[in-house]
Amino acid sequence: MKTDKLRIGIVGRRGSAHAAGFRAHPRAELVAMCDVDETQLAKDADAFEIPKRFTRFAEMLDHVDAVLVATPMQLHAPQAILALQAGKHVMSEVTACVSLEECWRLADAVRASGRTYMLAENYCYMRETVLVREMARKGLFGDLYYGEGEYLHDVKFLHHNADGTPAWRYYWQVGQNGNTYPTHSLGPVMQWFNSQDPSDRPTTVTCVGTGRHTDPEHPQDDTQISLVKLGSGKLVRLRTDMLSNRPHHMTYYSLQGTRGVYEATRTGGPGYLWVGENPDPGYTPDAHRAWRPIQEFEEHLPEEWRNPPPEALKAGHGGGDYFVVRDFVDAALGERENPIDVYTGLDWTAVGLCSQVSIDNGGVPIRVPNFRDLSQRPITLDAPAIKP
């Protein structure tokens, strides 16, 4: 699709977090918003001066070139597929899908449409994760072989609506066991590995949990640990906990390479790292190794992050909400490579879906499908809505 400016439509309340980013992009025009809650819709649309307002998603599609899907997670894939079938570009909030069957159908829809689909994993756009990625790409950590990501976020207060009825999270985040929300933890770590080997991807997942202690109403274990083996044989450890009584800590990461290591802090704040040569023979291992604050390495940040535009400084997630929108618009216009395309987004999403199968079967390793390979597509799936 050739166009000078993309007309953008947002569906879902969470999408208002990206509205400023779309308004700041010179080749995006925020023209429509959709929400089933008419009061909230009017409030958000008025705040960003969005002229067209809809309560039905399908009706909005006739008025836009691209959509941001920011509804509850069980609606992400159905709405993305509907938009793609209508010839629209799609940026989707996480996770991409809530079943492996949906993953295959979403991949079918992207292939058939020829449009851009991007997963809006904004944790990949936080200043510290971007800096580590650039250092990894430059080889400062040596050859990478181990990473960690943790998402520890007590959201029990979001499991019910104000009237006491179960909210969508009750069913889709804690209504089943395993890692139901993996991409915030996995996405940045995989980008670090892919900075050295773009073809590397998750291939198997093993998941075990602690059992239910804090809020046994739900079938999800308080904490689950997933061990993710990559095709290269490297290892990623994920921890997810949305139930335990504790302060939030949603951005713990670690990365180990042959020449260096990065560690986020366990209680928040900037992380630390060490990079350098091995000590000379005869010296103790710590003789040449000392942690240094990550701020000392900000020279490795891309220029746009060292001197961000004013719009980025106002955006959420440390400017990440601005840059993720910029990348999507530029990718849809053919001016930038899509940084988190449908196959990458499905790799990250499917790790969580496969972890649910693993934990239900005693922690056995489960293969992560490669959605690029049509020979792996189950023959029992319904035919795609439109042929690839």
The tens digit of pLDDT for each residue in 136-147 reads 999 999 999 999
149 in Cβ contact with 134 (< 8 Å): no
pLDDT at 278: 65
Is the pLDDT assigned to residue 45 strictly greater than 90?
Answer: yes
Share of the chain above pLDDT 90, in %: 86
220 in Cβ contact with 232 (< 8 Å): no
Is the pLDDT assigned to residue 124 strictly greater than 60?
Answer: yes
d(CA 358, CA 367): 10
Q: Angle at the Cα of 302 (from 2 to 349), degrees rounded to 5?
A: 65
pLDDT at 215: 94
Q: What residues have CB less than 8 Å from 212, skipping those under 6 apart?
A: 218, 219, 220, 221, 222
d(CA 42, CA 1): 31
- Across the range 144-153, mean pLDDT stands at 98
**pLDDT tens digit sequence for 81-98:** 999 999 999 999 999 999
Is the pLDDT assigned to residue 388 strictly greater than 80?
Answer: no
If pLDDT is split at 50, 70 and 90, which confidence band does 387 have? very low
Region class of 381: left (phi > 0), else alpha (psi between -120 and 50), else beta: beta
If pLDDT is split at 50, 70 and 90, which confidence band does 320 have? confident
Domain boundaries, the chain: 124-306
If pLDDT is split at 50, 70 and 90, which confidence band does 370 have? very high
pLDDT at 386: 37
> E-strand spans in the chain?
6-11, 28-34, 52-54, 66-69, 89-92, 117-119, 144-152, 202-209, 224-230, 235-241, 249-257, 260-263, 272-275, 292-293, 366-367
Is the pLDDT assigned to residue 383 strictly greater than 80?
Answer: no
Is the pLDDT assigned to residue 187 strictly greater than 60?
Answer: yes
Is the pLDDT assigned to residue 261 strictly greater than 50?
Answer: yes
pLDDT at 379: 81
Round the average pLDDT of the chain to a whole number and report it.
93
**Which residues are bridge partners to 207 per DSSP?**
226
Architecture of domain 124-306: 2-Layer Sandwich (3.30)
pLDDT at 1: 44
If pLDDT is split at 50, 70 and 90, which confidence band does 312 have? confident
Which tokens belong to 161?
């609506």
If pLDDT is split at 50, 70 and 90, which confidence band does 311 have? confident
- 136 closest CA partner among 56, 225, 197: 197
- Across the range 168-196, mean pLDDT stands at 97
Which tokens belong to 266?
């366990």
**pLDDT tens digit sequence for 199-245:** 999 999 999 999 999 999 999 999 999 999 999 999 999 999 999 99
